Structure formats: C-alpha cells, structure tokens
Structure 1
C-alpha cells in the first residue's frame, strides 16, 4: 500500500512548495511518487513548472502529477450513475440532468478528492502519494470522513432500515455505490448491524490513519500567527487520528522556546524558494518515512483503565468531554472525535479527566 503525505498550515506559508519539493525528493530516492493538487487554478501548475492534467502525467523519472478538478470528477461519476439508473429503474428520473450542469455543493469537493486519493492508494502503482490540499480544517475533515460516516451509519442504522425511501431505492444502491465509490454496497450493507462491505470500507479508511499510512507535516513561517495556526492544526489532526511527522519552517527559523512547544516533533528550517533552486529546499526537508515514531493520537492503557488522547495546542478549558453509552465524545477546537470503549469496559462511566503534558487522560471506572 502507498504512503499518503499531506501538509498543514496557514495560507502563504509555503505548503505547495513543500509538497512539490517532497515529491521531487522522494522520487530521486527511487520511490514512485504521485503528486495530487487540489488547487484547480493556474497558480498550482506555475509552481510545478508545467500544466498538469486531470489524470496522472509523468513529470520526470518516478514522478507523476495531476490536478484535481471537482467538476470533472463529478461529471464522470454522474454519467455512470445515469447509465446504471436506466438499467435498474423502469422510469429513470435523471436522464434529463447532465453532468455538465451539476454544481459542486459545499463539502462535495472533499468527498470527491478523498475518493480519488483512495482509488490511487488502493491501486498500488505508487509508493507515495503527496496530497497538496487546502492545508487547513477542510483537509482534516476530508481525511476524517470515513470515521465520521461510520459514526453516522452506526447511529442511524435503525432509522435507515425502516425508511420507505431506502426500501424503494434499495435495488439502486448497489450500482450507484459501485460507480461512485468503486465498491459493492447494497441497502442491506448499509442497514445491517453485522460486518459488511460498507462498514469494512469505512473501517479501512480509519485504519489507514491509525496505522500511519497517512502522514501530515506542519508548515509555518516565523510569523506568530502562522506558528499559532500550525500548533492548532497539530492538535486538530489528532482528533481524526492523523499522525504528524514534523514541522517545516519556511523563510527563516523560530525561537528555541517556540520550537520547544512542538516537541517531540523534529523541526526543519528551509530557505525561501527563489523560483528555480529546488535542491536547496530538498536538502533541508525532514526524512519522510511511514516508520517514523510519532506520538499516537490515542492510547488505551488497560492496566490503569485510562484512555490517553494527545491534544497538543489545547488546554483543558478548550476541551469538552461527554459520554453516550459505550462512546466518549471529545470536542476540541472545531473538531469532534468519538472513541468507543474497549469491550471489557462497556457499561462503565468516565470517572475523571485531566490534562498532563499535552495529553487528556480519561479515567473509566
């Protein structure tokens, strides 16, 4: 399976330059690399030095790049949906709606991008996929979609199973999910409480984060606002189980006391890009490997009956904790995370929580 690398930080800190330099670095090390850009404007291609296509295009040895276009992704999926609808419904209702007419609803671009990344990830053609997204909360929400959808499926499974709409459209669920998500879901898969392809797909997405197959790097400049944003995104990334491998400081260095705030992350200072000399940046980039020892977002300590949640950048006053049956919900910043108690602890309640060295330690009685 591929390793997916992405970059988090305030706009203007050099995320795109870091992403391109990383792709070049890994390619020269002999890894097959696919660079995926979310920005559909000409600026992204100008930074790359070529006009990328909407499909992988070879840039140099071991290095391919592509530029996501949400309208194209939606249009392609929509045409497949229409063809399948005509096969499964006697009176197709979508035949007069064309993919070229569809607009991108809020959040749809994230789902389309995640599905595209997933397909290349599962294709095993590339050793590393470098994703240059928006670099903020939107990127985190995109990678957190599998866990969020899994929670919704669990919570609303009973409602779905009794829904007349689901019953009516059940013959249509499988072909549509096959076209859009490249899987074989059926209505029963969604409503069943037992193991099924739908649940397995969502669990695989969550596992990819938890097993270190997706890695993020924080990007900042010495500017205090950029540093604060990086720290906030570090804590927020833990809410979706995304590991952070290090901090990249563009255009200068940060003070030792600020650097200490990011411990135990490694800090790499890279020079300002002059528009030509990529090697100067490549030489300063941190080592990027899925075997990096990074703090685990969540750790269950069975012997002490504790759950330790790593939340750097937050304080206890910033965190809200609630419990609903076997699930603990942790709210920090603009993110929520649901943690299911181990089977041995089911029926027990949270008895306390305290903040120690960036960790929220939750005790279960």
Structure 2
C-alpha cells in the first residue's frame, strides 16, 4: 500500500511546484514514487520533459504519469466490453470506442480516483503524489467512496424493496437468464456488487488513515490565498481527509497567522526553475507520523459527536437527522454519519462550536 499525498490551495499558490519537490524528496529518500498529474502544461515546463498518459521514469525512483481523461476512459471502456462479451451472447457495444463517449460531469474525477486506486493496488510504489486541481473538486473526488456508499445504502435498499421490483421479478428472472445466457442465482449478480462495496469500504478506510492518504495546505501570505486554504481545510475535514500541515510558499519570513492552529507550518522559499534543492530541504518529512486533529470523534459517555470544522461557524452549518444517520452540511460539502452503538437511537438535542469543533449533543 502507498502513501497518497496531495496538496490543496488556491490556483497560483505554487501547488504544482511543491508537488514536484515533494515527489523528488520522497524519491531521494529511497521511496518508489509516482507523480500523478491532472494537467501537464506547468508540469512539462517545470520538469523540462513531457509527461504522457503512459507511466514513464523521469528520475531515480521517480515515475510520472498524466491522468488524461480520454486515455483513462478508453482503458476502462475496454474492460466494460470484455464484461459485456462475457455475459451477452451477441455483444452490442464491441465496436464502440471510448473516444466516442460523452464524458458525463464528474466522470473525469471518478476515472482519476480509480486510476489512483489501481496504481496504489499495484504494489509498485511506496508513495503517490497526486497533483490535481487542489480545490473543492479534488475533495469531492476523494470523498466519492463515502458518497457512493451512502447512495448505495439508500437507493439500493429502495430499489430492491420496491413493490415494482417484487412484482416484475418473476418475469424478469427467466428473461435475464436467457439474454445473459447464465443461470439465475443470487451469486451471479452479488459478486460484482460485493466487490464494488469492498472497494468503497477500502476507499473510506484509506481516506480516514493519515498513513495512507494525507493532504497539505499550500498558500502564500496573500490574505485571499490564506482564506481559501482555511476554507479548503474545513472542507477536507467534511469529507474525512486528514490535513497534515501548511506550506507557506514563496515566503522568506515566518508566518504569524493563527488561522491554521494547531497545524505545523513550513515556509517554502522561492526558487528558480531547475534548482529544486532549496524547496526540497524546506519541505517537512512526509514519512513521519503526523499528529493531526481527527475529523470526527465519538464520545459515547458524554453522548457527543465532535467534528473538526475549521473555517466555518454555526451559521454556515446545517444539521439534520434521519434515524441513526446525522447529516452535516458545511459549505458545499455534505457528510453523512452513522451513529455507533451507544449513540444509535438517540436524537440530536443541540450543537455548538468550540475551538474549531462542531460538538453535537445527543
């Protein structure tokens, strides 16, 4: 399993430069590193070598790949065609190519997340540095396992228990058995579902583990950049992503802002293209265990749920409950929390903000 490292911050704050320096630093420590990038314009200029959709070695212990949507779509579309050929007597999409498909909104992020999952599962890398957009769309991508798991629970149960499905099932079973040329048993269709559920659970577990997935905020001393980084910090907590620290880029003095307490702060000096060592030396040790505020804590004794939501106040948060599930909306992020044993069955009595924490009392 790899450490997946990513950076959050406003465009122009230097995220891509720091991502490259971080990848180079990890590689210099003997780690097998993959630098996975969403956009190659700045990367190609900074690395002085083109990064393509095929993994290529760019330095000792360091590979790079462009997560190009069309290439990822084509690769995954081939897998879909293989699956169709396995189950259908007469495949109907065998002559359809990935480039001919319309990419739905969010499809590019889903493909990037799946690519990261596959590179992680390959066992080839000790660390994957992901240089994405570094904004709310990156957080939505990393939060997909939680979101999809929620939709699966809600709508999967709704569909399977609906009167319509129960009514038409006796007619559909022999039809599907004939069309797909398979015997109708629960195992035929449970296996892919179980596999997808397992992938989602693995993704949720990785997201919650700072040893597996960790983000750093990147900002300059510009107030707008600081405000954006603070907002992204709180949004990261909403999706369950741990933030390990703050990197003040192109700063020669020690920042005095309290906006990021208790995160550790590193100052990163500006450096000319090609001279990476000053940046590498200024970066923190990403391999060390980082003490970070936990995004969520359950206190059964005091009947409380604590969420760390820096950058937000009570007016920006909406709280609703449906049975054992509590939903917190903050900014454009939404988090659904299942209450653990000991708190399940209780209703929300109140909520307050205290030292950056939203404390929900049950």
Question: Considering the TM-score relative to the shorter chain, is it more than 0.5?
Answer: yes
Superposition map of 1:31-180 within 5 A: 31-39=31-39, 41-161=40-160, 163=165
CA contact (8 A) 1:221 1:253 kept: no
**For the Cα contact (< 8 Å) 2:327–2:335, is it kept in 1?**
yes
1:15: Cα distance to partner? 0.4
Deviations 1:92-148 (A, max 9, x none): 332342222123221001000000100111122111110000000010011100000
Partner of 2:359, secondary structure, is: strand
Contact 1:21 1:278 in 2 (8 A): yes
Q: Is the 8 A contact 2:13 2:219 kept in 1?
A: yes
TM-score (norm 1): 0.89
> Structure 1 CA distance, aligned partners of 2:23 and 2:159?
43
Match of 1:251 in 2: 250
SS in 2 for 1:304: coil
Hey, what's the Cα distance between the residues in 1 that align with 2:149 and 2:288? 25
Mark the runs of 5 or more structure 2 residues left unpaired by the alignment.
181-186
Alignment of 1:203-242 (within 5 A): 203-212=201-210, 213-242=212-241
Given the alignment, which residue of 308, 311, 318 partners 1:313?
Answer: 311
1:49 Cα deviation from its structure 2 partner: 2.1
Contact 2:81-2:94 within 8 A present in 1 as well: yes
8 Å contact kept, 2:16–2:42: no
Aligned residue in 2 for 1:188: 190
Shift of 1:302: 1.8
Q: Judge which range, 91-100 or 317-326, deviates more.
A: 91-100
Q: Secondary structure at the match of 1:350?
A: coil
Gap change, CA 1:110 and 1:172, over 3 Å in 2: farther
Cα distance in 2, alignment partners of residues 172 and 62 from structure 1: 50
State the SS of the aligned residue for 1:263.
Answer: coil
Deviation (angstroms), 1:220? 0.8
Distance 1:321 1:122 in 2: 36
Distance across 1 between alignment mates of 2:280 and 2:102: 39
Q: Cα deviations across residues 168-223 of structure 1 (Å, max 9, x unaligned)?
A: 779999xxxxxxxxxxx9633577xxxx3332221110110112210000001111
Alignment RMSD: 2.3
User: SS in structure 2 opposite 1:93?
Assistant: coil
Partners of 2:279 and 2:64 lie apart in 1 by 19
Number of residue pairs aligned between Structure 1 and Structure 2: 347
Is the 2:32–2:126 Cα contact (8 Å) retained in structure 1?
yes
Q: Which has the higher Rg, Structure 1 or Structure 2?
A: 2
Other structure's SS at 2:19 match: helix
Distance in 2, Cα, partners of 1:186 & 1:301: 42
* Matched residue SS, 2:248: strand
Aligned to 1:179: none
Q: Which runs of 5+ in 1 are unaligned?
A: 174-184
| 1:329–1:336 Cα contact (<8 Å) kept | yes
Q: Is the 8 A contact 1:322 1:329 kept in 2?
A: yes
Shift of 1:159: 3.1
